Amino acid sequence: MTPDSVSELVRVCLWTAFWVGLPVLTISFLSGAVMSLVQVLTSMQDSAFNTIPRLIAFFLGLLLFLPWMLERLITYTVSILGHLEKFAR
């Protein structure tokens, strides 16, 4: 295996991880920002007020994007296992 093929394999792996995690991380970030803004505007400093809606948004986003995420991971896995002989050299 050449250094170029290793770097390509790592690059594809990192991009796949980035795209798989992006939707859920974006939803978590946006819901956290909105809840923090609501906390600032209402002067409510209860930690459960911030945590519970963020968790709900995270799980709803996970349920919504899970089929797409699994399809992306399966495609990546099939491409790696399909070219296994190339990586074994």
Q: What is the pLDDT of residues 20-56, one digit of tens each?
A: 999 999 999 999 899 889 888 888 887 777 888 889 9
Are residues 18 and 67 in contact, defined by beta-carbon separation less than 8 angstroms?
no
Confidence tier at 83 by pLDDT (50, 70, 90): confident
31: CB partners within 8 A, 6+ apart = 53, 54, 57, 58
Q: How confident is the model at residue 73 (pLDDT cuts 50, 70, 90)?
A: very high
Higher per-residue pLDDT: 2 or 62: 62
What are the structural domain ranges in the chain? 3-88
Q: Tell the residue number behind the tokens 């505007």, with chain if given.
A: 41
Residue from 16, 57, 59, 64 nearest 38 by CA: 57
Give the pLDDT score at 57. 92
Residues 6+ apart with CB under 8 A from 47: none
Q: Is the pLDDT of residue 72 over 80?
A: yes
